[in-house]
Structure 1
Amino acid sequence: MGDVVNLNQFRKKQERKSAKEKASQNRRAYGRTKAERKDAEKQHRKDTNELDGRKLTNQRKTDDSSKAES
């Protein structure tokens, strides 16, 4: 006769194993190293600053001559 197995422990062990495998697959598919994330953030800040420097401001020029005519 076989050993007595606690089915709850067996189920939990299987779920942990499955979760570890899925996490490993996700790390391969989506994961980036800390250096890669840092470089991407640095590039994003650089791009943002560059674009902000090129923004056109929406300033209204007050024309004193037009006010005087009214």
Structure 2
Amino acid sequence: MARDVINLGRVRKQRARDEKRRTADANAARFGRTKAERAAEAARLRAEAAHLDAHRRDPADPAGEPEA
């Protein structure tokens, strides 16, 4: 009938640490990106912006018609 003595404060704190770690892991999976992924995304956005700027109409001609 003799069992090991359990420190309830230690068990409570360990349970809280485990819960925080699970929350942190879930957030990292949802929001975390590596530096390489962030750099690739930034490069893609720059390329898209450059592509749109290259196809922009001349701002001096709002009607879009060529000058005669």
More helix by share: 1
Report the Cα distance in structure 1 between the residues aligned to 2:7 and 2:24, rounded to whole angstroms. Answer: 31
Match of residue 59 from structure 1: 60
Q: Which has the higher contact order (CA 8 A, sep 6+)?
A: 2
Runs of 4 or more, structure 1, over 4 Å off, are 2-6, 12-16
Q: C-alpha displacement at 1:53, in angstroms?
A: 1.1
TM-score w.r.t. length of structure 1:
0.56
Q: C-alpha displacement at 1:20, in angstroms?
A: 2.4
Match of residue 23 from structure 1: 24
Larger Rg: 1
For structure 1, the residue ranges without an aligned partner over 5 or more in a row are 61-70
Between Structure 1 and Structure 2, how many residues are aligned?
A: 58
TM-score w.r.t. length of structure 2:
0.57
For structure 2, the residue ranges without an aligned partner over 5 or more in a row are 62-68
